[in-house]
Amino acid sequence: MELFQLVPLILLSFYLLSNNVPQASAQRSTYIVHMDKSFMPKAFSSHHYWYSSMLQSVKSVAQTSLEPKLVYTYDNAFHGFTAVMSKNELQALKRSPGFLSAYADDVVTPDTTHSYKFLSLNTATGLWPASQYGKDVIIGVIDSGIWPESPSFKDDGMTEIPARWKGICQSGEEFNSSLCNKKLIGARYFNEGVRAAIPGVTITMNSARDESGHGTHVASTAVGNYVDGVSFFGYESDALAGIDQAVADGVDILSISLSYRRRDLYENPIAIAGFGAREKGILVSVSAGNRGPSFATLLEGIPWAFVVASGTVDRWFSGTLTLGNSKTITGWTMFPARAVVRNLNLVYNETLSACNSTELLAEAPDQSIIVCNLTDKNTSLFFLWSDLSRSNARVAIIISEDTSILRSTSFPYPGVVITPSEARDVVNYASNSDTPIASITFQETILGLEPRAAPALSGSSSRGPARSYPGILKPDIMAPGVLILAAYNPYTSTARIDNNIFLSSDYTLLSGTSMACPHISGIAALLKAAHPDWSPAAIQSAMMTTANPRDNTGKPIKDTEFNYRVATPLGIGSGQVDPNRALDPGLVYDANVQDYVNLVCSMNFTPEQTRTIIRSSYNCSNPSSDLNYPSFIALYEVQENRTTLTRKFKRTVTNVGNGAATYKVKVDKPKGSTITISPETLVFRKKNEKQSYSLTIRYRSNNEFVINDGSITWIEENGQHTVRSPIVVTPGVSDD
């Protein structure tokens, strides 16, 4: 169970819809409109009345009895509103003073224990005690809701609610204000966007209560209280309203495990609202998405957000296969019961092992263990379960290299999954024994180095470069995100046996960057408590420069999807988060809001698109794409005629150590590149002193698709600090 014990939580809930839900009619749609508030006439007492007046002024162009409807107004993370209107009304609205941009509302999708021990968090030393377990830091979770009765949200041992808290515990269907406490300090729900988009839609739970289980799982991962003995046997305007309200309510960390399909930053609600949150000193942690493993599948590469990739943990849910010759093999299984499989006949032949039809499986002997070889076959495990349940076999040994099986809890039929190399012993024994038999034990858990090193990059985790802005290396960091145990809706099915026995649980195992993101949110809360004077950029930098690019065997982190080859920073960012090292990083790369403004101003947006993000309180007098960031990326185009390219970066680091310190640089250059650092030594006379350096990378474009990576590390002389930044040389993102 995750443990960020004294961190208060506010849950901002919205109604999740699947992508195939019909949206508004062709005549009227729901639009998110961004405004420049500096244009608001003094005659209006609030932005709400100004926006209402604007909608009234355009209603005559619609030539219909229907009037435009104001759904939400926003004034904290950004300025603007959501409204239902016709295209003609929108065109008229665009001529209004202060109008910046508008886009249609869209569907939002979720990017969907032992991990705190895997991250080396403990009660004796390190980040937990140093932060007083996150005392008084508030995390806002934007998700599908919460199941407040879960033991993960009990407030045993919690301190008083921070005095700066401005939020409420909103009552609703099956949810009253008494369900909040000193752990769950607030809850609000937002569904007006979906109501406006789909008039007459049935809201099955009109409150902050979580029906899908996703929000409960994410929230308990980020800030869940300790629970002993647990085990496992929308629409974007609504999410946007939640973010805007969280900023107003006074959160310190925003945890957003959601994805939008919009590529452009000026039309991405998380990017726009996240900028406003960062402006107010709030760290925004977002999930990278689950579109991997292909190149450039990361859509939301928001430079001012902490983008989190998903990795495995050193926990293996297993069943032990024992052959009649006493040979044992540890297989993978999530079958949710202790099935009796003792000395059953083991059946193997090449024809039957295809297991690709009900007719074929009907030939399996009664009460047998059948071997199914899914290697290089088109047989889907999903259909195999159904076919096996109608066969005479009692158990299946499944030969597969599909790593997605290791992320799924769906295992409705007794069996184990083994690799082709492990299968050789099984096939040899079954083929050469007169009466082959086997036994299997279930519901086993293995921790440690075997059978696979951890962490490893999840195959589903989205990969960079980011399509929204490839000039900053994304994702930033990796955290546990595969089969994470956390609280869930107890009335939602979490597993099944056969085709018609559905099981529920108070806690469940889920996989995805949705599960990785709240780990980073929780660690950020602990760092904020330990270092209340650090900016969001400093907290992010501390985690990135101390992240570990190696697994628990000391070797580079592998990629589960590509035969466990070495992962690149386009998948893992700086590496696996190391909370205790982040407490004392030595140096940090800091950045203020003006630095992010300068970055946005360099992105070749129109003035209106730029102001949609940065608003009118900043100007573009000093545009710069060289953000003071703890990582480096150099892009090239794949072309026949290779050319030499040069990219120069300037960085400034702040000494957050205890006093004077000297650092020397160590360079691990990407293959085929030359790296020059100037100066190569940084001397700090006191704490909080800043020093700058330049990094110049000379590299060549390539005539084929090649990704090379390296790093620079500032190493403290006669000290304990090492400050590492990854470097990637990669092809750029195509426009398709």
Active centre residues (catalytic): 143, 214, 514
Query: Hey, which residues does 399 pair with through a beta bridge?
Result: 373, 418
Residue 111: name the closest of 481, 543, 489 by CA: 481
CA angle 714, 716, 720 (to 5 degrees): 115
Distances (CA, A) of 178 to 12, 14, 220, 225: 17, 20, 19, 18
Residue 383: name the closest of 344, 404, 412 by CA: 412
Tokens linked to 135: 């005392």
SS3 for 57? helix
Dihedral pair phi/psi, residue 69, rounded to 5°: -120, 125
Residue 592: name the closest of 659, 673, 535, 662 by CA: 535
Cα–Cα distance measured from residue 270 to residue 240, given in angstroms and rounded to the nearest whole number: 7
| DSSP 8-state code for residue 617 | T
Distances (CA, A) of 661 to 653, 654, 656, 687: 12, 11, 10, 9
The answer to whether the Cα torsion of 560, 564, 568, 572 is positive or negative is positive
Cα–Cα distance measured from residue 177 to residue 158, given in angstroms and rounded to the nearest whole number: 18
Other C-beta atoms lying within 10 Å of the C-beta of residue 680: 13
Q: Which letter, b or e, does each residue of 693-709 get, where b requires 16 or more Cβ atoms within 10 Å of its Cβ? A: bebebbbebbeeeebbb
Cα–Cα distance measured from residue 151 to residue 70, given in angstroms and rounded to the nearest whole number: 39
Residues near 407 by Cβ (< 8 Å), separated by ≥ 6?
458, 459, 460, 482, 483, 511, 512
Residue 142: name the closest of 462, 475, 494, 514 by CA: 514
Residues near 99 by Cβ (< 8 Å), separated by ≥ 6?
33, 35, 36, 93, 608
Cα–Cα distance measured from residue 255 to residue 407, given in angstroms and rounded to the nearest whole number: 22
Residues near 434 by Cβ (< 8 Å), separated by ≥ 6?
none
Cα–Cα distance measured from residue 638 to residue 705, given in angstroms and rounded to the nearest whole number: 6
What is the chain's Cα-based Rg?
27
Tokens linked to 44: 């209006």
DSSP states of 122-172 as a string? -SSSSHHHHTGGGTT--EEEEES-B-TTSGGG--TT--PPPTT----B--B
Q: Are strands 395-399 and 415-418 parallel, antiparallel or unpaired?
A: parallel
Q: What is the dihedral of CA 330, 336, 342, 348, to 10 degrees?
A: -60
Residue 247: name the closest of 207, 275, 217, 266 by CA: 275
Cα–Cα distance measured from residue 409 to residue 515, given in angstroms and rounded to the nearest whole number: 14
